[in-house]
């Protein structure tokens, strides 16, 4: 069963939305090494367009973004019938309870804090949602 899960993972596409280039590249590298196809966006406006056009299997979403913040992006994803059930994981430096509750209330499946992230935590969270 675990082998089947891993083989289907290669077909999974993840959109990484992160404005800091070094972090965006690091997450993309982790995900590609884990067998995922990866697309990236560096701002909220592009993230919304790519989500609606490219239809990823999951969105890994920062909150502090130019053009539209992550909460606005998440709200737009949830309002669209075609993407309302799309798994979204927030990965943010904002670690206050208020931000975490807001992200989960808006429809994120999980809220991860960047300072406590590792590839193992990221992969386990992704697998929980796709």
Extents of the domains making up the chain: 2-123
Q: Across-strand partners of 58?
A: 14
Q: What is the bridge-based pairing of β-strands 37-41 and 13-17?
A: parallel
The burial class, CB within 10 Å (0-12 / 13-18 / 19+), for 101 is exposed
Query: What's the token pair of residue 107?
Result: 């429809």
Which CATH number does 2-123 carry? 3.40.50.2300
Q: Is pTM, for the whole model, over 0.85? A: yes
pLDDT digits (tens, 9 = 90+) for 1-38: 333 344 444 479 999 999 999 999 999 999 999 999 99
Bridge partners of residue 111, in order along the sequence:
90
Q: Higher-confidence residue: 57 or 97?
A: 57
Q: Tell me: the pLDDT tens digits for 42-96?
A: 999 999 999 999 999 999 999 999 999 999 999 999 999 999 999 999 999 988 8
């Amino acid at each position: 069963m675990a082998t089947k899960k891993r083989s289907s993972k290669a077909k999974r596409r993840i959109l990484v939305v992160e404005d800091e280039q070094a972090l965006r590249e690091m997450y993309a590298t982790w995900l590609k090494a884990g067998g995922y196809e990866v697309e990236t966006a560096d701002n909220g406006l592009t993230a919304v367009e790519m989500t609606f056009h490219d239809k990823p299997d999951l969105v890994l979403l920062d909150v502090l973004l130019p053009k539209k913040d992550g909460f606005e992006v998440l709200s737009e994803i949830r309002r669209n019938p075609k993407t309302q059930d799309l798994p979204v994981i927030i990965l943010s430096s904002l670690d206050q309870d208020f931000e975490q509750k807001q992200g989960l209330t808006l429809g994120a499946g999980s809220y991860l804090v960047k300072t406590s992230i590792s590839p193992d935590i990221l992969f386990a969270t992704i697998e929980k949602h796709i």
